[in-house]
Amino acid sequence: MGKITDKQKEIIESFSCERLSDKQENKELIKNFKSEKGRSLVRYLQHLAWDEDTEGKTAYYLIKDPDNEIALFFSLKCGALFDPLNEDIIKQRAKRAQEWLHIVQGLNKGGQEREIAIQLLENFRSGQDIPVEQIKKRIKLNAQQAQMILDQLTYDKEHEENEQIIRVGHTYPGIEIMHFCSNDSMKERWKSFGINHPMGEVMFWQYIAPIIYGIQERIGCQYVYLFAADASEDGNLIQPHCYGG
């Protein structure tokens, strides 16, 4: 991949990015959008995108060349990733926390039980100058919290009638790139510019990334993830994986 020249940079900057519903003319322009490998995305653009954009369900954007032809389109919406709740881990944590609490209570006893308790406390202190009583309180609180979580999980399972519910452990705020698709009519023209980078990659960093960075300045966002992209050489946004923000 060669370095982008000043002339090529001027070409890239001559493109523009705008919301689909900002201009009434876009409703007609999208009818000419074509992508052989992204036909399902094109159908979405031409039949559903306008209403979704105007209603605020999903934000659709068009990237256009200087001649007002659509080079590609993409859409963004708020989303979240999550880790499914692992019941086995919760049970293990509660069990381990209770074991630690039981060991610490050995301080009031003698012999080996007291020695084991002292060793556990030293492990928790890890060389830090923390009072023993503070460590004991922390272990007790940890045991109480772990048991509360386990008790709540058990209660929910016993009283929840909907077996299809997915219990979530952790959630991660993100921005979902719902669609990302290039126009077949732009591919030969893009090659003529001599830019040795795929159009989708260039346009992502030039126009999409700044929108995402602007959102991150105002709301919490840890990940950006791609839901659907065409499989063409110049439309593929590297790979459809998650990117930490």
pLDDT tens profile 54-101: 999 999 999 999 999 999 999 999 987 776 666 777 778 888 888 888
What is the spatial distance between Cα 17 and Cα 70, in angstroms, rounded to a whole number?
Answer: 10
Neighbours of 159 (CB within 10 A): 7
> Where in the chain do CATH 3.40.630.30 domains reside?
6-82+169-244
User: What pLDDT, on a 0 to 100 scale, did the predictor assign at position 202?
Assistant: 92
What is the structure's pLDDT at 26?
Answer: 96
Task: Check if the beta carbon of residue 215 is closer than 8 Å to that of residue 175.
Answer: yes
Percentage, residues of the chain above pLDDT 70: 80
Lowest model confidence (mean pLDDT) among 27-36, 58-67, 98-107, 215-224: 98-107
Q: Is the pLDDT of residue 234 over 60?
A: no
Angle between helix 87-104 and helix 132-159 axes, rounded to 10 deg = 150
Helices 111-125 and 132-159, interaxial angle, to 10°? 90
pLDDT tens profile 94-153:
888 888 888 877 776 777 777 777 777 777 767 666 777 777 777 888 788 888 877 777
Question: What local confidence, expressed as pLDDT, does residue 236 receive?
Answer: 44
Rounded to an integer, what distance in angstroms lies between the CA atom of residue 108 and that of residue 235? 68
The residue type at 8: Q
Mean pLDDT value across residues 159-180: 73
CATH topology of domain 6-82+169-244: Aminopeptidase (3.40.630)
